[in-house]
Homo-oligomer: A and B are copies of this chain.
């Protein structure tokens, strides 16, 4: 239907006749001429309909005069040099003098124009118009290029792209599974996978050596701005490897792909940090290193002070007292400080102590703080000095159990960093390693896995693991970029006896383990190779590359809680006949005799 793309018409075509298809981006009549900006996915070119020329042009001019926004057109014409060059257009040196204008499909008056952003509800209802916007085209194409570059990189290195099932069995991965009634098996259900974790491990036992998949995964959770019910991950697994094999390979991949797609040069090598160090310095296992601020432990300095909250947590086993400098924070209003306290409270803070430092040299007289009176001069000076506060700064203090204090002070650090303009430009990747193997769930009275139950412990010996479960470190690792966990993985358990020991420590009894994971325990008995892997969040990486905060901008048809059209995949009532059948399917299994 066409000879060229609108956005690619250039001076090499001068004097040639071209046929173009596209949408009328702008149409205007000027001094007896008609100008149409014709737009396709490659860009825009100016079409001119002139009255003066050949006889046929009367028809062309009449057609052009009736063109409206987003009309779908086919235009034939001759490329010529443009008098008024438009430097903003790739095609700005030329224009096409129309000899034929064909209206392929008339557009009704638009709910919004392709260059506007009318708000997300309207955008999602008319997603096809939204996606025509050049900004959306750019972001979506960044995602497409990202996936293409990843595949090309992996294909070239012998990774095997293997599909795993979507209709599968429920596996315990933390979140809730979507369930699918199985019509052919009344009373039974498929589950949609939260990840292909066990399938990819089985593939390593099946001799595929290096696997990847751009895999759709599902979690039946509440929708949030940064969380979709279905999401896409680059899922990878390697046989016969240790953690550095996996990490070095995927680090090179991410570096190459960022260079290729985004023109970004990431550090080589990525910095590495243990979980313990990340929590200590940044109060987070995914620290944003673009913000230079760090938490400073001051427990040793406040153990004997009169401020009870500080002293209690400083002396408690597992307590933490930290200071965080807010550069220029002395200028914060009371309202702003209250807002920070409210923010910290969202992450578990019971309160947020603060101190404005007008002149650190003046001791007590140089500070302004509700807690100053509880600190003796030496303590006060030591705290100000430890925090590294300069004249005009503020210091925030957190005291709680280690995890809670780290969490809310880490969250505060991020917010201060953004509010105070302390987020450096650029890209700060790192590896976080040496995660604890287990966390103690006080409520359930048992350990839970920090990664997942298939992650190998750093120790090889089951007795050793049992004896030191509380402090055991796993072979898990996360890749973090600008404060986002973009990838997470581990070396897996490859011996059946170790897997049984870990199930046992997680409170999964022999019978339950056999029922849920019998196939895995058995598979590990037939020469399963050492293996490990990682999964990357494609939606998040694409959003980072495209420079948007919203992952919805890099998903063609995202789900939202508000828009209810097909394009957002919102659920819908099902006709009664089908509903009746689902009813039959979900009856409880017959009671056991």
- Least CB distance from A337 to B in Å reads 37
**Nearest B-chain residue to A522, judged by Cβ:** B126
Bound: A230/B216 CA distance, A: 14
Residues of chain B within 8 A (CB-CB) of A167 are 178, 218, 229-230, 559, 569, 571
The answer to whether A374 has its CB under 8 Å from any CB of chain B is: no
Cβ of A220 within 8 Å of any chain B Cβ, yes or no, is: yes
The yes or no answer to A199 lying at the interface (CB within 8 A) is yes
Residues of B within 8 Å of A232, CB to CB, are 163
Q: What does the 1/0 interface line of A141-155 toward B look like (CB < 8 Å)?
A: 100100110011001
Q: A167 to B221, alpha carbons, bound, how many Å?
A: 13
**Interfacial residues of chain A within 573-588, with CB under 8 A of chain B in the complex:** 573-574, 576, 578-579, 582-583, 586, 588
Q: Mark A119-155, 1 if CB is under 8 A from B, else 0.
A: 0000000111111100001001100100110011001
* Interface positions of A from 195 to 214, Cβ below 8 Å from B: 198-199, 202-203, 205-209
Partner of A71, one of B41, B520, B527: B527
Q: Which of B127, B162, B206, B573 has a CB less than 8 Å from the CB of A128?
A: B206
Nearest-CB distance from A433 to chain B (Å)?
Answer: 19
Q: Is A263 an interface residue (CB 8 A)?
A: no
Alpha-carbon gap, A431 to B24, bound state (A): 36
A159 CA to B209 CA, complexed, in Å: 30
Are B207 and A131 touching (Cβ within 8 A)? yes
Closest to A178 in B: B180
The answer to whether A132 and B183 touch (CB under 8 A), given A161-B147, A165-B557, A527-B23, is no
Which of A186-194, A319-327, A345-353, A413-421 faces chain B?
A186-194
A182 within 8 A of B: yes
* Interface positions of A from 551 to 593, Cβ below 8 Å from B: 555-557, 559, 565-567, 569-574, 576, 578-579, 582-583, 586, 588-589
In Å, the complex CA distance between A289 and B523 comes to 45
Contacts of A207 on B, CB cut-off 8 Å? 23, 40-41, 131-132, 137
Counted per complex, copies of this chain come to 2
Report B-chain residues with C-beta under 8 Å of the C-beta of A70.
526-527
Question: Shortest beta-carbon distance, A218 to chain B, in Å?
Answer: 7
A582 and B176 CA atoms in complex are apart in Å by: 12
Q: Which of A58-66, A99-107, A252-260 contacts B (4 or more CB under 8 A)?
A: A99-107
Q: Are A240 and B189 also in contact (CB < 8 A) when A230-B165, A570-B169 are?
A: no
| Among candidates B2, B129, B190, residue contacting A569 with C-beta atoms closer than 8 Å | B190
Contact residues in B for A203 (Cβ distance below 8 Å): 128, 131, 556
**How far is it, in angstroms, between the C-alpha of A582 and the C-alpha of B188 when the chains are bound?**
12
Query: Is A166 in the interface zone, CB < 8 Å from B?
Result: yes
* Bound CA span A264–B131, Å: 40
Q: Which residues of B contact A209 (CB under 8 A)?
A: 40-41
- A586/B586 contact (C-beta < 8 A), A105-B528, A141-B160 known: yes
Inside 8 A of A71's CB, which chain B residues have their CB?
527
Measured between beta carbons, the chain B residues less than 8 angstroms from A229 are 167
Q: Is the CB of A107 within 8 A of B206?
A: no
In the bound complex, what is the Cα–Cα distance between A203 and B166 (angstroms)? 24
| A141 / chain B contacts, CB cutoff of 8 Å | 160
Contact partners of A216 in chain B: CB under 8 A: 163, 166, 216
A572, B206: Cβ atoms closer than 8 Å: no
Contact of A572 among B74, B128, B188 (CB under 8 A): B188
Decide yes or no whether A519 CB sits under 8 A from chain B: yes
Q: With A207-B41, A526-B108, A566-B198 given, is the CB distance from A182 to B137 under 8 Å?
A: no
A544 to chain B, nearest CB (A): 18
Q: How far is the CA of A512 from the CA of B206 in the complex (A)?
A: 50
- In the complex, A1 has a CB within 8 A of chain B: yes
Partner of A530, one of B1, B574, B589: B1
The 8 Å CB contact of A242, one of B1, B106, B523, is B1
B573, A199: Cβ atoms closer than 8 Å:
no
Report the Cα distance A108→B129, complex, angstroms.
Answer: 60
- Of B106, B161, B181, B557, the contact of A164 (CB 8 Å cutoff): B557
Cα separation A178 to B189 with both chains bound (whole Å)? 11
**Are A556 and B164 CB-contacts (below 8 A) given A127-B202, A572-B189, A578-B179?**
yes
Whether A162 contacts B556 by the Cβ 8 Å rule is yes
List chain B residues, Cβ under 8 A from A198. 566
Inter-chain contacts of A168 with B (CB < 8 A) = 566, 569
Q: Choose one: B1, B190, B202, B494; the contact of A567 (CB below 8 Å).
A: B202
A189 to B576, CA, bound (A): 12
Chain B's closest residue to A202 (CB) is B128
Given A70-B527, A167-B218, A220-B183, A579 contacting B574 (CB threshold 8 A) = no
Binding site for B on A (CB under 8 A): 1-2, 21, 23-24, 40-41, 70-72, 74, 104-108, 110, 126-132, 137, 140-141, 144, 147-148, 151-152, 155, 160-171, 176, 178-185, 187-190, 192, 198-199, 202-203, 205-209, 216, 218, 220, 222-223, 229-230, 232, 239-242, 245, 494-495, 519-520, 523-530, 555-557, 559, 565-567, 569-574, 576, 578-579, 582-583, 586, 588-589
In the A-B complex, the 10 residue pairs with the smallest Cβ-Cβ separation, listed nearest first, are A131-B206, A107-B527, A182-B571, A188-B571, A72-B527, A165-B569, A21-B240, A128-B205, A70-B527, A128-B206
Interface pairs (14), CB distance under 8 Å: A72-B527, A72-B529, A104-B240, A104-B494, A128-B202, A141-B160, A151-B151, A163-B555, A166-B218, A167-B571, A170-B572, A179-B574, A188-B574, A583-B586
